[in-house]
Structure 1
């Protein structure tokens, strides 16, 4: 009964968030599709031959155009609105998947890979801040964790399909799944923040009414958002947001979140996910590498789900710190086993990688994306998200592009050790500079990096995991049930 009352009060924003999150499935399939490169190389019916350089570029080229699409996404969000932009870019993604599946030309496969990669990473850039603006503080952590979970679902889907289907069929499924998502996003209310910035107050009120329960004080929330936007009215346009970056309260969180993303990628996560087959083949694991890839996908999905459940209780900061330390330790164990050259312990690298993936799913994976929506101040949220994700994509491209050459130059064991060191550095940065965002409204977080105590973590979140906002408290379960009945 308690859960029923909780869900009744929040079901509208939950349903809208889930529909937005489904668009991020494309990001997961783009990352997971990298395992199909090995299938293409083994396909006896392919009319083309892949060289080692072709393999490297086919894996990493998804990030090339994504550098530009993520950098330009902030401008597009301000121009047309985040929800409308999601529905517009999903169609090219479907076309890109069809290019890959239906062609017999390597050029068209590269073109489809570039299109799907550019759109896939752009979707996450748009969806994460949108979720933060749509959700109330008490469920923002849970719902903001869903994009990372959907990325895990997309990766696992490709891993499983690659185990049983040929690469063309797997690719076609990835494209067809986006059609119902495109239709569903059309019914999601636009961001009330964006509507208010455009002077569409009636539409903003209507959007909030669609996202909130009838018992919610929509007028008070709308007034709070309006006041926050009015404080920075001079930075309302996208071009003017560049000027606001000179303010410490705006550039500090952008630099911090960007640094967290860079260290996250230098920790080797995407190398393991995108080069899963290659990694397990060269780590001495005796189990079929495609089976290991499925295990990796399942492990990441399960622990990302656990993270979504506990993150509003445990907080973002401790999860990120602890998970980064565990990830670093798991990589050092893997590197140590590879140094020993003991063929009888091939199960140890697999176990260590599973520990790494589990810890990544708990914190290092979802938390940076949650911070992208929460820590970036409202005046520069679109621009800040573009900067963070474009630099993230550049880091991703560079790491995945140089990884094969890096293993040749210094060996897989040394490369793994380097990744582990960056994971520990990420934990240190989070410990020193990251404030806790659990239970804070976006209006509160807008001032998190202002003043002498800018980098001091919030410590006064309430026991339930949120602080009442908008001038009133959220109704209790019993109050909700009384109003419902």
Structure 2
């Protein structure tokens, strides 16, 4: 207990700050999970909304329509305003979007609210993950960078439970109301020191680091290290500069790698399982109530995402992603085999396979790509690279969620599931051959991970590139920093 207490005392500031930022992304989990409410509305004949199957597809996928634009263009907004300010300002329209959906009895207004909440929800994923990576030290970055995925799981589970016990209007209203206190808490969060330095606000950057670090931490040395990394890459707040920097192999290689992992993950049917949970269980022949199964899926994902967060800084990102992808693929193969056999009385097998899939997804394939989004994207292109990755993610999300019901009609659910499993095997191979291990590395070190060589390469020692980390695991007093701020 004494050891944990000492560990927490040294890191409690960045833990509290990260939790405050990470909880905002519960909105994204609500957006993903709200799809089960569409099935609830369709089944309830007392609800005065005539929703067809075509409406179901569009209500599920429409969250990705505006998100395709918000994620691609939010990098310019972040560079101009600052990530923390953007997050705080976006939560209010998201809350109003949820309230609009809850109080409206018109299907077009529900579409509008769905588009607003989707645009903000997926924009938050673009901003928050790199922000947490910039605010956390290397020893806890894996744990704290897992918070967004945990909160997505919490948001999904919340809406699954609400759909099970409340009417859809009350459940939708709750999703909006909880965003107001979160927005108020974000007003006390310091801005990213990286963004402040890039915009010439050195004293504010120093103050931000002092709010994030323990008194024993040498914030002067860390500030100098960040400044040196920015200067070496000729980085400033201009998006045009980031576009030019993206031409460098050391910058575009990690963007391609992280984007490919998101693309493969979505082609593996990740969001189909969560956004079409009720539809999936009904068509897979599961013997249990599909809404209850959805709650079990939410609980399972949350539990194993928390386990992943607690172990990722010890086990590493690479082994978790590879192992998780292989298990996800195997679970999909088992589900497909059962569906092919059309064996009656085995309705528990697809449910068990999906639960194994969800557990494995929560351990690696779910959180690791998001963590790598913040870790592997170099500082010179971090905002632009994050927009590219999440932009491709939401475009693919929209396409897959829109065509999935038609796909199952055309080729059958069993063939679709087997394709999903094969894609996860490909994801495991990509991670095995190209993914470097980022555990324990500072962002300044990781900035040089893909420098050198003719292709995507494993982590390169930054000292070989003429770079030596300016701060480490021992930190002298910050008295000089206090004097500088004064």
TM-score normalized by the length of structure 2: 0.95
Map of 1:139 onto structure 2: 140
Map of 2:122 onto structure 1: 121
Asked whether the 8 Å contact 1:448–1:455 carries over to 2, the reply is: no
Map of 2:479 onto structure 1: none
CA distance in 2, matches of 1:276, 1:474: 48
CA distance in 2, matches of 1:309, 1:333: 29
Greater CA deviation, 84-93 or 452-461? 452-461
1:152-195: CA deviation from partner (whole Å, max 9, x where unpaired): 00000000011000000000000000011000111100000000
- Equivalent residues in 2 for 1:104-183, closer than 5 Å: 104-183=105-184
- Equivalent residues in 2 for 1:196-345, closer than 5 Å: 196-233=197-234, 236-345=237-346
| 1:91 partnered with 2:92 | yes
CA distance in 2, matches of 1:460, 1:307: 27
1:7-55: CA deviation from partner (whole Å, max 9, x where unpaired): 0000000000000001100000000000000111123333330111111
- Equivalent residues in 2 for 1:24-35, closer than 5 Å: 24-35=25-36
Shift of 1:245: 1.0
Shift of 1:453: 8.2
CA distance in 1, matches of 2:370, 2:141: 12
Gaps of 5+ in 2: 463-467, 477-486
CA distance in 1, matches of 2:237, 2:201: 14
Asked whether the 8 Å contact 1:374–1:445 carries over to 2, the reply is: yes
| 1:58 partnered with 2:59 | yes
Shift of 1:455: 4.1
Map of 1:417 onto structure 2: 418
| 1:406 partnered with 2:403 | no
Instruction: Give the aligned length.
Output: 470
Asked whether the 8 Å contact 2:325–2:428 carries over to 1, the reply is: yes
CA distance in 1, matches of 2:305, 2:265: 16
CA distance in 2, matches of 1:85, 1:333: 44
CA distance in 1, matches of 2:171, 2:212: 36
Map of 1:44 onto structure 2: 45
Name the SS for the 1:302 alignment partner.
helix
CA distance in 2, matches of 1:458, 1:245: 19
Shift of 1:232: 2.1
CA distance in 2, matches of 1:300, 1:393: 21
1:246-289: CA deviation from partner (whole Å, max 9, x where unpaired): 11000000011000000000010100000000000011100000
Asked whether the 8 Å contact 2:63–2:115 carries over to 1, the reply is: yes
Greater CA deviation, 218-227 or 34-43? 34-43
Asked whether the 8 Å contact 1:436–1:459 carries over to 2, the reply is: no
Asked whether the 8 Å contact 2:230–2:236 carries over to 1, the reply is: no
Gaps of 5+ in 1: 462-467, 477-485
Shift of 1:473: 2.3
CA distance in 1, matches of 2:235, 2:337: 55
CA distance in 2, matches of 1:379, 1:337: 49
Distance 1:469 1:18, change over 3 A: farther
Name the SS for the 2:390 alignment partner.
helix
Map of 2:374 onto structure 1: 373
Map of 2:352 onto structure 1: 351
1:206-260: CA deviation from partner (whole Å, max 9, x where unpaired): 0000000000000000000000111122554112211111110000000110000
What is the root-mean-square deviation in Å for CA atoms of aligned residues? 1.5
- Equivalent residues in 2 for 1:454-473, closer than 5 Å: 455-458=456-459, 470-473=470-473
TM-score normalized by the length of structure 1: 0.95
Asked whether the 8 Å contact 2:451–2:460 carries over to 1, the reply is: no
CA distance in 2, matches of 1:177, 1:198: 33
